[in-house]
Amino acid sequence: MKAILSRRSIRSYTAQPVPEQLLIELLEAAMCAPSAGNEQPWQFVIIDRRDILDEIPKFHPYAGMVAEAPVAILVCGDLLRDTHRGYWVQDCAAATENILIAVADKGLGAVWVGLYPRDERVRAMRALLAIPESIVPFALIPLGYPAEDKPPANRFDAGRIHYNGW
């Protein structure tokens, strides 16, 4: 609960590299997400080359923080594994959220940068990384050691809870 309640979108990072073992642990958390029919229709790309990271803000208007991030994880949907048509979106969202919670637990900072369903962002990311047509870039997660400190945000709103109907 602590990681969930303290998780914040972090957009500023130190230059300290993130160890590969930590990245693997984040992806292990991602792959523990639920998925329709347990199909696990996800693929992941770790991006740590500065020249590639620097290209992303050129086509994504809300990805400026990538310029500071030492690494990013691209979450992709694998349409060849989408046997429960269309549920890959929910499955990849669950994997993305698991990464964000694990990031908070590990003392790192990250932010969810949406790609899908914006076709121009999907196409640009696909072209940048030579991603096949059967793979859909879903979300980018720039991450690193935080260079900013944000207190937990209390977003609980009892007025949004309904029992047995509206």
The domains found in the chain, sorted by start residue, are 2-146 (3.40.109.10)
The pTM assigned to this predicted structure is 0.96
pLDDT of residue 50: 98
User: Which distant-in-sequence residues (6+ apart) come within 8 Å of 103 by Cβ?
Assistant: 7, 26, 109, 110, 141, 143
In our burial notation (b when 16+ CB lie closer than 10 A, e otherwise), range 95-117 reads bbbbbbbbbbbbebbbbebebbe
pLDDT (tens, 9 = 90+) of the chain, 166 residues, equals 999 999 999 999 999 999 999 999 999 999 999 999 999 999 999 999 999 999 999 999 999 999 999 999 999 999 999 999 999 999 999 999 999 999 999 999 999 999 999 999 999 999 999 999 999 999 999 999 999 999 999 999 999 999 999 9
The pLDDT, as a whole number, for residue 137 is 99
Whole-number pLDDT of residue 23: 98
Quote the pLDDT of residue 94: 98
The beta-carbon contacts of 121-125 under 8 Å, at least 24 apart in sequence, are 121/59, 121/60, 124/59, 124/60, 125/56, 125/59, 125/74
